[in-house]
């Protein structure tokens, strides 16, 4: 099977398993796992934040960020396709008692223009807007990325309005690669940022929250409260570190393959795609004349897995375990099924 459903479906390579087996470990609840401590320091330094906290999932890192940046009854502005709004099981209202206010942006992105006039809280009956939650690259927005200028404009809007910024960087690695942005740029525009090692980087588990030392100390306490205090997780941190060292540089190949498939899609009479929207490893495209589920089945018969992303919409995602030979097979199947 060629599995293009998500970049989360990768399995640890033999080399990654070896570094996991050899990792030095200790009890991380006591702060004694040397491999986790080293990874937290390394990633915080890489992105220019004071500190980092390893979490079992991107969802937990995002929710800890929301919790650190808000009080009960506050409002968080988010693009309507955002992961925190759509795919985290109402955690923000449940765990932090805040209102997520979805705004319609473009390709999953907000803009300083769009945010104008959205801030409220002057009147006691209004929610108090406190945070802007951004996603980069966007997942449901098709893997699109913010430019540095767009982020800088949102950041100065946030400063003027005394709002915090959380950046969901589950795929910040892809965004950095596509836009050639230095990692330290992100700490200049965001108060908190989550990153995931288990998406395109290919680690089996693990994410990290990055922020000030004060926020990370608070998040560490909250992570324990939410049941996320873990013990000998140096095994996982070693896999994450291996992924950074060996897989980060492969992302540009995923982006090239995604673009090549997007061009094939644009040549298929029963498919349509906005080629400009394909900036990283994700392609979202429409099927004309048949339901998405039927297209998924036809591709599955050819040994290709994709996910339905709407009644007539599909998503395909590239990762380092899809090579050029797989890509040629996928392109051939697309031409024969959808023309
Ligand atoms: C943009 C984005 N943020 C957060 C997450 C959550 O990550 P996890 O599945 O590790 O909770 C995902 C998962 O796919 C994602 O795509």
Structural domain includes residue 3: no
Domain at 298, CATH number: 3.90.1150.10
How many angstroms does the Cα of residue 152 sit away from the middle of ligand 1? 24
Q: How far is CA 219 from CA 50, 62, 208, in A?
A: 13, 11, 11
What are residue 164's DSSP bridge partners? Answer: 131
331 assigned to some structural domain:
yes
85 CA from centroid of ligand 1 (Å): 11
332: containing domain? 250-338
**Domain count along the chain:** 2
Atom 6, ligand 1: residue with shortest CA distance: 58
Which CATH number does the domain housing residue 85 bear? 3.40.640.10
Q: Does ligand 1 lie within 6 Å of residue 315's CB atom?
A: no
**The pTM is what?**
0.98
63 touches ligand 1 (CB under 6 Å)? no
Side-chain-side CA neighbours of 312 within 13 Å: the count stands at 9
Is the CB of residue 83 below 6 angstroms from any atom belonging to ligand 1?
Answer: yes
**Residues 222, 305 within the same domain:** no
207 touches ligand 1 (CB under 6 Å):
yes
Measured over the CA atoms of residue 285, residue 290, residue 293 and residue 296, the dihedral's sign is: negative
- Domain end marker among 190, 217, 246: 246
Whether 260 and 329 map to the same domain: the answer is: yes
Clarify whether residues 293 and 325 are in a common domain.
Answer: yes
Residues 166 and 297 in one domain: no
Q: Is 89 left (phi over 0), alpha (psi -120 to 50) or beta?
A: left
Residue-level length of the chain: 339
Q: Considering the domain boundaries, does residue 4 fall inside one?
A: no
**Centroid of ligand 1 to alpha carbon of 58 (angstroms):** 5
Show the DSSP H helices in 205-250 as ranges. 213-225, 234-246
pLDDT in the model for residue 289 = 87
Task: Say yes or no: CB of residue 88 within 6 Å of ligand 1.
Answer: no
Q: Are residues 52 and 169 in the same domain?
A: yes
Helix or strand run (H / E) with residue 210: strand 207-211
Rounded to whole angstroms, how far apart are CA atoms 257 and 243?
A: 20
Q: pLDDT tens per residue, the chain (339 residues)?
A: 999 999 999 999 999 999 999 999 999 999 999 999 999 999 999 999 999 999 999 999 999 999 999 999 999 999 999 999 999 999 999 999 999 999 999 999 999 999 999 999 999 999 999 999 999 999 999 999 999 999 999 999 999 999 999 999 999 999 999 999 999 999 999 999 999 999 999 999 999 999 999 999 999 999 999 999 999 999 999 999 999 999 999 999 999 999 999 999 999 999 999 999 999 999 999 999 899 999 999 999 999 999 999 999 999 999 999 999 999 999 999 999 999
Residue 310 and residue 328 share a domain: yes
Same domain, 86 and 169: yes
């Amino acid at each position: 099977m060629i599995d293009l459903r998500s970049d989360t479906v990768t399995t640890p390579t033999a080399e990654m398993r070896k570094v996991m087996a050899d990792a030095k470990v200790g009890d991380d609840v006591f702060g004694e796992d040397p491999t986790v401590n080293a990874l937290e320091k390394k990633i915080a330094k890489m992105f220019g934040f004071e500190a980092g906290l390893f979490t079992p999932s991107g969802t937990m890192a995002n929710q800890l960020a929301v919790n650190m940046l808000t009080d009960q009854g506050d409002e968080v502005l988010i693009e309507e396709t955002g992961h925190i709004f759509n795919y985290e099981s109402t955690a923000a209202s449940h765990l932090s008692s805040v209102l997520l206010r979805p705004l319609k942006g473009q390709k999953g992105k907000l803009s300083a223009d769009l945010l104008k006039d959205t801030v409220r809280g002057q009147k006691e009956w209004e929610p108090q807007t406190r945070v802007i939650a951004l996603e980069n690259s966007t997942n449901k927005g098709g893997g699109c990325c913010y430019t540095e200028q767009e982020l800088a404009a949102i950041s100065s809007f946030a400063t003027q309005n005394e709002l915090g910024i959380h950046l969901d960087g589950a795929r910040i690695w892809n965004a950095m690669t596509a836009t050639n942005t230095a990692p330290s740029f992100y700490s200049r525009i965001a108060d908190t940022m989550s990153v995931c090692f288990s998406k395109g980087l290919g680690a089996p588990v693990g994410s990290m929250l990055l922020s000030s030392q004060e926020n990370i100390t608070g998040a560490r306490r909250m992570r324990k409260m939410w049941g996320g205090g873990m013990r000998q997780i140096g095994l996982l941190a070693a896999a994450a570190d291996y992924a950074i060292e060996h897989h980060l540089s492969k992302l540009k190949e995923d982006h090239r393959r995604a673009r090549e498939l997007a061009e094939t899609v644009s040549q298929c009479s029963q498919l349509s795609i906005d080629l400009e929207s394909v900036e990283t490893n994700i392609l979202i495209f429409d099927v004309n004349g048949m339901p998405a589920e039927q297209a998924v089945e036809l591709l599955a018969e050819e040994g290709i897995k994709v996910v339905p992303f709407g009644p007539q919409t599909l998503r395909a995602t590239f990762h380092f375990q899809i090579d050029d030979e797989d890509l040629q097979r996928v392109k051939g199947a697309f031409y024969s099924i959808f023309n």
